Amino acid sequence: MASSSPSSSSAVKRLSNLSNHLCPTNSNPLVKVSAQVSQALSTGLPVVALESTIISHGMPYPQNLETAKEVEAIVRDNGAVPATIAILDGVPCIGLNLEQLERLARMGKSAQKTARRDIAYVVATKRNGATTVSATMFFAAMVGIPLFVTGGIGGVHRHGEHTMDISSDLTELGRTPVAVVSAGVKSILDIPRTLEYLETQGVCVAAYKTNEFPAFFTKTSGCKVPCRLDIPEECARLIDANRKLNLGNGVLIAVPIAKEYSASGSLIESAIQQALTEAREKNITGNAETPFLLARVNEITGGASLASNIALVKNNAAIGAKISVALAQLLK
């Protein structure tokens, strides 16, 4: 047998760096990958996946559209290609154009909030779905995007020991090899129990430039993290090692909100307690609870929490893009 050429050998080596869990782009006929994202993936350029629930359920139109466009611009400005993910008319779309972004923003809450469990139904019935963390991770892994940026992940709900209300984001992190950059866990949730659950799932939890796990609206939660990373290159090496070892799970990189946007911890906690009481009184549970709680906390705080939410998403996008660039350079 003829020996392989240096170029084919290096190509095989690059492919071997990818986890067995990640499939080639455009490999699934049900999924539509935008031309820009497809080209970036095929040439080894950095790509950052973005969710769409924050567009449909996170804030009203047109603020949601402007925020989505600004977040994508931040990713581009920091050297990566943004890939916002959503299901439109039953077609999972990886990378939305401006027309699709506006359509989703105008839909608002009429788009179905789509976690992993909902994907097949939304596709089969040709509905419109805004992807949560779990669904976005699933599609990112399917097409080979190694990193995803969001505001905050879901987790174990307060009183979850009685209700068993645990976000599918956590189990997705335990079985899907995509790195997630977030401002920690939404502070409306039970952060200590969420971290315990992530440990059970075998998920590496790291904090960026801090030893403490951030609490979404605030920089601190009182919970220490097992790993600290201080520069994008360190984050990239962790993601690369996790994938090369074929551990099969994701990595959570928690980035604290910038100090100037950090809300008062006591103010937020008071608002959360009031919102939780109202949710119980109105019997709001399941996937309707988080949007309700975030909206009520924003109302109670006079809009301060939404401003913080937008600021932290933008900060995460900038840092996530830098990590994606460092990872792409590492894999070359």
Q: Name the pLDDT band for 128 (thresholds 50, 70, 90).
A: very high
278 catalytically annotated: no
Where is average pLDDT lowest: 12-21, 178-187, 196-205, 294-303?
Answer: 12-21
For residues 186-205, average pLDDT:
93
pLDDT per position as a tens digit, 61-82: 999 999 999 999 999 999 999 9
186 catalytically annotated: yes
pLDDT for 158 equals 82
Query: Quick one: tokens of 154?
Result: 């879901």
Distance CA 77, CA 133 (A): 23
Q: Name the pLDDT band for 248 (thresholds 50, 70, 90).
A: very high
Distance CA 51, CA 7 (A): 36
Residue 111 carries which DSSP code? Answer: S
pLDDT for 301 equals 84
Listed by start position, the domains of the chain span 28-331
Catalytic residue among 72, 102, 186, 219: 186
Average pLDDT of the chain to the nearest whole number? 89
pLDDT for 26 equals 54
| Bond preceding residue 92 cis, omega within 30 of 0 | no
pLDDT for 1 equals 43
Distance CA 157, CA 275 (A): 13
The alpha carbon dihedral of 178, 182, 184, 188 has a sign of negative
CATH number 3.40.1790.10 given to 28-331: yes
Q: Name the pLDDT band for 266 (thresholds 50, 70, 90).
A: low
Look at residue 19 and tell me whether its pLDDT is greater than 70. no
For residues 150-165, average pLDDT:
87
Q: Assess contact for 317 and 309: CB atoms under 8 A.
A: no
Look at residue 151 and tell me whether its pLDDT is greater than 50. yes
Look at residue 33 and tell me whether its pLDDT is greater than 60. yes
Q: Which residues contact 106 (CB under 8 A, 6 or more apart)?
A: 61, 65
Q: Report the percent of the chain where pLDDT is more than 90.
A: 70
20 versus 331: the higher-pLDDT residue is 331
**3-class secondary structure, 253:** strand
Look at residue 306 and tell me whether its pLDDT is greater than 90. no
For residues 34-41, average pLDDT:
97
Q: Indicate the pTM of the whole model.
A: 0.87
pLDDT for 286 equals 79
Name residue 1's amino acid. M
pLDDT for 165 equals 86
